[in-house]
Structure 1
Amino acid sequence: MGIKVSKSNLVFTNATYVLKPKTSLTKTTATVVETIEQNQEEITLVWLDVKPVVDQLIHREQKLREINDYCKFYYDQNSCIEYIHSSVNVKVFLVIPGSLANNILLKVHKLEQVDFVFIYCIERDRYLSLLNDYSKLVGIYTSENDLMKSIQNTIKLVEKRLITLNSYNHKQKSTRDLTTESGSFLFFQLFKDILMNMPQTNESKHEMIRKCRDYYCDNKKQLKNIELFNSTYQSIDAIQWYTNSNFPLYKLINKALRTEDINELFHFRFFIVDLSSNLFKTYKDYKKMNIKSPIVHLYRGTYLSIDELQKLKENVGNLISTNGFLSTSRCRMVATMFTDNAIFEIETDIRLKTVVFADVAQYSKFPDEQEVLFDIGAAFQIDSCVYDSNTDKKWIIKMTATDKGAELAKEYFEFQKKKVAESDIVLMFGHLLIEMGQHQKAQKYFENVLRQKPNDEEVACIYHNIGRAYRLKNEYERAIDNYNQSFQMHSIARPPRYLSAAKSLNGIGVVYNEIKAYDKALEYLIKALNMYQKSLQNEHIDIAGTLNNLGNAYRGKREFDIALEYLKRAQNINENILPHDHPNISRTYNNMGNIYYAKRDYQRALETYTKAITMNKKILPSDHPDITRCLKNLGLVHCNMKNYDQALNFFSKALEIVEKTYPQEHPCVTDIQQQIQIIKKYNEIS
């Protein structure tokens, strides 16, 4: 027989209770019956107890959700530990009873996802020694109110020190061919401009309000805050609302920014634009008053993992940005209050043209923190990353604010404008997502833009890009549908837009290549080539691209000589119109190597693959996918030439790269591991 308690979001079974939006308290004997919604909080509160008491749970739910909206209750320790082990990319705050403390701490203390542990019990003195043994143990509490206050203060500390870093590798000689990391760096260089180009409407405000109400639908305290915001908010109050720690808006926005969640960012675009505009206005006023003191020193305390510290050390001299608005302090002492193992020392200059920051202490509930907030897109050069073993006993990262991030964004925009024949920054941002490999995000982004009712030509381009995103997600039917929609709209325009229509035909041809329908691929690619040749000079990057695709189609049909002819034509165009170090040239060499390999002309394959990888090593970061691809191809050639030691060397280098990027079970890793095992067996036999 079930129990239901209305207006609660607490679900429990014989193992677990889950606090989440839009649910009620339900007792079952098996598993959780409702679907757990996405956690929009930065932190998951997990409360483990030995015995469930429904009345206590309801009371705790109300108090906990005022602190953090996503919570889980367990009274089976194995289920609790299993959940924590299975949680990825989350920060867990764990509350445990004293009777289970020794056992639980032993099992979870070293887990990366467990940030802090709190003990709630009657016999405090009995467990005091644990504070010396476990650094993540915050305290031992006999009062529930004291426990709640401690959790709240610790959450504030964690939220203050959260930071996501993106670097731009100096070896990435241009913005022509991006790694995911460098793409993320450019993401926020362009993002603000995208939002500023979108209309600021009441509907965008209502969309944001609906999102907040939906997530906090059972949280009475936050619903009151949301209604207050809805009825009183004015654009000039954006900074004040953002610094209001009691209001959930800053949490939702910061998480969306940190995770580059396109859907969520669209929901909050109304407020993000207002906040950026207010920061810029405040910054202009500050500049007028401080012309004679242009240099400003700021500080931020944080926690950095071993991997993050290594990343910073490797990127000294490179550019770096943070995901979203960066909170700093004028006071170094304040920064040390919010630090664990690292302090950023930042020097900025009001004479910079694109780096915007504002003193927001006057708007904050905590003016003594002397908070200074950087706007989205601020870029910094890493000057040094060293451990201070004398004074601070922490890592000190020195950075200087710079305009170079905005310059790179401009370079990227100009290059893409030539490459895709589009000059709309809103569409360009979607191209960036695709180049970053964020195909799902790109699809959602373009679908969101489509709902903004752009003009006819933009709609056709958006359908093309949605098709491209679906193709890269291997959803081929949807890709063809969207490419066709784009082609039809460009074709019936007056006058017809032949160049754009040809791009969509080329896209359909690529889809058929990928599903090995080579005759259909040739049909569409030849149509695309003919259409290009009507509207373009013979030597154009789009013509070279289609010739390359035709070469791949004929390779699929095993008509290798014809395939090589098309690839050579493509390469001639590339070499005549592109810089000598352009990635398209190395990729065409790689495709030509594939033909020679298929023809079992291993010597020519080796020579061509070597040309490709030599170019790639000069122009791309060492972990770029194109380098991995060349290493694998060289490994295959040497294996077929029975040069097993050299084959093993190339595959081992490829494995070293992919293991840094993908989990062990990913096909990119397992495929190379299998090749290495095969080569080792061949080596033993020979």
Structure 2
Amino acid sequence: MIRNSEAGMSIFSASNKLTRNVNLEDFSVIWLDKNVNNDIDCEQTKYKLRCVIDYIQTFDNEDDCIEYVEDYYMHKIFLVVSGDVDQQFIQKVHMFDQVQSIYVFCLQKEAHEQLANNHSKVQGFFVNIDNLIDHLKCDMFACTRISSFVEYSLRNLADNNRISMFGFQFLLKILIQINYDETAICDMIDQCRSYYRGNERVQNDIDEFQQNYKPQDAVIWYTHDSFIYRLLNAAFRIQNIDIIFIFRIFIRDLYQQLEIMHMNLLELVCNPAQMTVYYGQWMTSTELDKLKKNVDRIVFMNTFLLTSIDRTFAEIYFGCRSQWSYLESVLFTIELDSEIMTQPFVGIRSKSKSTDENKILLPFGTLFQIMSINESDNHVWHVHLICVKCNQYGSEIAFEQEFLTDQRPTMDSFFRLVERMGDPTRANRYRKMNMINRKIFLHDFELHEKWNHFDKTIDKIRALSTLALFYYQIDDCEAALRNYKRCVKLICDTNSEFEQIKDIFMLMEPPLNSTYDIGGKKVYNAKEIMDSLLKIRHENKLILNMPAIGNVIKGFIKGYNTCDNISLNSNTWEEYLSKKYRK
């Protein structure tokens, strides 16, 4: 079964664009002020806050604010309140684990100082919004190490979690094997622009991605603080298949690059089979207790994890926590074995925009056994993990055999898989989105005659035939025929050598052997297309024992009967062609 979006809400609007009604990142800013929706200055403040954390919700009454905080327990919330807020409200929200920090925005700092002494999450009292934002930036950076690691990133491999993990991993396995066209990256960029509308900082990042992205840079983009990292990291943790679908081409590039880098790593390190890495973070007592209950059990990692080869460096992340006195310091020691792990782990020093020292990126779905959890004399909890292998159930093997055959998966394979996993509504939405995005891309390609951008004639012919084939695949028959006419005309006008275009003939076989419904009239194919193709075939002395070309020509015989009302069969067509094109 596929997990639904947060609180059962759809992340898409009626126009199939990402909606702002749901936070798709990990962090949220909540601003409580009775004048927040009436003050013009507040709009400028919102703009500044979005430069730090994109998702902002404003409230002008405490009851609605409390209800929202309770519902969005999966997010890390930074709460900004006005000076006239009731102290009982502060006491209530202070109890929620999802509330990371509280900032009091007021003109009378002295009147509220006692509040900070009694509540550790109250980070300060601010008269100037710029000072508040500087403090928020620091706290947000520190908060990246206060992850809900046990609750959402490291899960017990019980049967219910196993079904969820296997299903999600299998969707990824299908997506990373599909050959995508340019519409996939265009859709991803368009969706991100729509979601981050009004956020100038992120829009600039999207501009940079659109102008400079190459598939070999996927790891760089994923491992630095960008909109891609923030959206994908949250999506992996809560298994948001909608975001995974939108980022499908990037995820494929990411996995392909990880495979290459994994092989390079094994060639470079002294002992390729085994390696120890470290990960340091803060953790609530509740999370630590859950971890202790899973000692000796197998758990799986529900996200990518960036670890350090250097233990000292990992310890930096929990070295100072004066403002997080309610948290525990935890150091994970993780033993890797490339002979056991089925997914690639990679070193990313040369592939990251970060200047940090050597790191190892562990992939989604890595399986571990928790060996021990002990507290040291300096009050640091040490968690020892070793990677393990888990045998597949018979049902899982059968599922893979059904969808991962020798034939390469397609988008239709993915849609059918989503249906099989119990969500036909989502599968149909994906089909519709895929068709609409492809139409937009094709219409733009055709409108601007982008095939003329190619220097070589053979590339122009191939672009036109591919364009026609794509139209055929989305059932736009008239557009398909229109572009096949262009393709054939170019072949004839340039007297192209058959050896150069025979692969194009093979692409043209399925659509040209189909019946089209144009304007309510059944049309097998346009007479001029078949005339031109038959002429090419005759003048180049093509032979029927070439399977694909032979099938095309046999199909043309049927089409010629339809369009030219001529009785013609496979035994007499050579004679007909000789008469028709006799010099």
Same structural fold, with TM-score higher than 0.5 when normalized by the shorter chain: yes
Partner of 2:430: 448
Q: Is the 8 A contact 2:416 2:427 kept in 1?
A: no
Residue 290 of structure 1: how far off its partner (Å): 0.8
Partner of 2:356: 368
Letter in 2 for 1:357: F
- Between the aligned partners of 1:413 and 1:425, the Cα distance in structure 2 is 19
Residue 110 of structure 1: how far off its partner (Å): 0.6
- Between the aligned partners of 1:167 and 1:221, the Cα distance in structure 2 is 34
- Between the aligned partners of 1:430 and 1:338, the Cα distance in structure 2 is 42
Residue 251 of structure 1: how far off its partner (Å): 0.9
Identify which of 153, 159, 162 aligns with 2:138.
153
Instruction: Give the total of aligned pairs.
Output: 405
Partner of 2:242: 263
Partner of 1:220: 200
- Between the aligned partners of 1:394 and 1:416, the Cα distance in structure 2 is 44
For structure 1, which segment, 263-272 or 42-51, has the greater mean C-alpha deviation from structure 2 after superposition?
42-51
Partner of 1:281: 260
Partner of 1:79: 64
**1:225-244 matches, cutoff 5 A:** 225-244=205-224
- Between the aligned partners of 1:343 and 1:432, the Cα distance in structure 2 is 39
Distance 1:434-1:201 versus aligned 2 partners, 3 A rule:
closer
Letter in 2 for 1:396: H
Letter in 2 for 1:236: Q
Q: Is the 8 A contact 2:266 2:272 kept in 1?
A: no
**1:122-133 matches, cutoff 5 A:** 122-133=107-118
Partner of 2:544: none
Partner of 1:661: none
Partner of 2:41: 56
SS in 2 for 1:39: coil
- Between the aligned partners of 1:130 and 1:63, the Cα distance in structure 2 is 26
- Between the aligned partners of 1:421 and 1:244, the Cα distance in structure 2 is 34
CA RMSD, aligned part only?
Answer: 3.6
Structure with the higher helix share, 1 or 2: 1
Letter in 2 for 1:414: I
Distance 1:287-1:36 versus aligned 2 partners, 3 A rule:
closer
Letter in 1 for 2:97: E
Distance 1:185-1:365 versus aligned 2 partners, 3 A rule:
same
Distance 1:96-1:422 versus aligned 2 partners, 3 A rule:
closer
For structure 1, which segment, 374-383 or 203-212, has the greater mean C-alpha deviation from structure 2 after superposition?
374-383
Distance 1:75-1:232 versus aligned 2 partners, 3 A rule:
same
Partner of 1:92: 77
- Between the aligned partners of 2:298 and 2:419, the Cα distance in structure 1 is 22
Letter in 2 for 1:58: E
Letter in 2 for 1:67: V
Letter in 2 for 1:326: L
Partner of 1:44: 28
**1:208-607 matches, cutoff 5 A:** 208-245=188-225, 247-292=226-271, 294-304=273-283, 308-339=287-318, 340-341=327-328, 342-352=330-340, 354-368=342-356, 370-386=358-374, 388=375, 390-391=377-378, 393-402=379-388, 404-405=389-390, 407-408=391-392, 412-416=395-399, 423=405, 439-440=422-423, 443-445=425-427, 448=430
Distance 1:129-1:349 versus aligned 2 partners, 3 A rule:
farther
Residue 228 of structure 1: how far off its partner (Å): 1.6
Q: Is the 8 A contact 1:300 1:335 kept in 2?
A: yes
- Between the aligned partners of 1:362 and 1:142, the Cα distance in structure 2 is 43
SS in 2 for 1:200: coil
- Between the aligned partners of 1:431 and 1:62, the Cα distance in structure 2 is 42
Where in structure 1 are there 5+ consecutive unaligned residues?
Answer: 1-19, 23-34, 173-178, 454-458, 460-686
- Between the aligned partners of 2:181 and 2:169, the Cα distance in structure 1 is 24
Letter in 2 for 1:213: R
Q: Normalising to structure 2: TM-score of the pair?
A: 0.61
| Higher relative contact order structure (alpha carbons within 8 Å, sequence separation ≥ 6) | 2
- Between the aligned partners of 2:186 and 2:396, the Cα distance in structure 1 is 32
Letter in 2 for 1:439: G
Residue 430 of structure 1: how far off its partner (Å): 8.5
C-alpha distance after superposition, 1:402-427 (max 9, x if no partner): 3x14x438x65424468x79858969
Distance 1:445-1:138 versus aligned 2 partners, 3 A rule:
farther
Q: Is the 8 A contact 2:171 2:417 kept in 1?
A: no
Distance 1:327-1:413 versus aligned 2 partners, 3 A rule:
same
Letter in 1 for 2:124: G
- Between the aligned partners of 2:250 and 2:208, the Cα distance in structure 1 is 15
Residue 337 of structure 1: how far off its partner (Å): 4.4
Q: Is the 8 A contact 1:21 1:217 kept in 2?
A: no
Distance 1:218-1:306 versus aligned 2 partners, 3 A rule:
same
Distance 1:284-1:112 versus aligned 2 partners, 3 A rule:
same
Q: Is the 8 A contact 1:167 1:318 kept in 2?
A: no
Q: Is the 8 A contact 1:355 1:379 kept in 2?
A: no
Q: Is the 8 A contact 2:280 2:316 kept in 1?
A: yes
Distance 1:361-1:231 versus aligned 2 partners, 3 A rule:
same
Distance 1:63-1:337 versus aligned 2 partners, 3 A rule:
farther
- Between the aligned partners of 2:403 and 2:179, the Cα distance in structure 1 is 24
Distance 1:385-1:252 versus aligned 2 partners, 3 A rule:
same
Q: Is the 8 A contact 1:161 1:338 kept in 2?
A: no
C-alpha distance after superposition, 1:503-536 (max 9, x if no partner): xxxxxxxxxxxxxxxxxxxxxxxxxxxxxxxxxx
SS in 1 for 2:69: helix
- Between the aligned partners of 2:338 and 2:20, the Cα distance in structure 1 is 47
Letter in 2 for 1:390: D
SS in 1 for 2:25: coil
Where in structure 2 are there 5+ consecutive unaligned residues?
Answer: 1-10, 14-18, 319-326, 436-472, 474-583
Residue 138 of structure 1: how far off its partner (Å): 2.8
Residue 381 of structure 1: how far off its partner (Å): 1.9
Residue 50 of structure 1: how far off its partner (Å): 4.9
Q: Is the 8 A contact 2:335 2:387 kept in 1?
A: yes
SS in 1 for 2:85: helix
Partner of 1:205: 185
- Between the aligned partners of 1:330 and 1:422, the Cα distance in structure 2 is 36
Q: Is the 8 A contact 2:178 2:408 kept in 1?
A: no
Residue 258 of structure 1: how far off its partner (Å): 1.4
Residue 233 of structure 1: how far off its partner (Å): 0.7
**1:175-194 matches, cutoff 5 A:** 179-187=159-167, 189-194=169-174
- Between the aligned partners of 2:114 and 2:339, the Cα distance in structure 1 is 54
Q: Is the 8 A contact 1:361 1:368 kept in 2?
A: yes
Residue 345 of structure 1: how far off its partner (Å): 1.8
C-alpha distance after superposition, 1:460-500 (max 9, x if no partner): xxxxxxxxxxxxxxxxxxxxxxxxxxxxxxxxxxxxxxxxx
Residue 275 of structure 1: how far off its partner (Å): 1.5
For structure 1, which segment, 316-325 or 292-301, has the greater mean C-alpha deviation from structure 2 after superposition?
292-301
Partner of 1:636: none
Distance 1:201-1:131 versus aligned 2 partners, 3 A rule:
same
- Between the aligned partners of 2:366 and 2:215, the Cα distance in structure 1 is 22
SS in 2 for 1:67: coil
Residue 278 of structure 1: how far off its partner (Å): 1.7
Letter in 2 for 1:39: N
Q: Is the 8 A contact 1:98 1:120 kept in 2?
A: yes
Identify which of 75, 84, 89 aligns with 1:104.
89
SS in 2 for 1:190: helix
Q: Is the 8 A contact 2:113 2:125 kept in 1?
A: yes
Question: Percent identity over the alignment?
Answer: 25
1:117 equivalent to 2:102? Answer yes
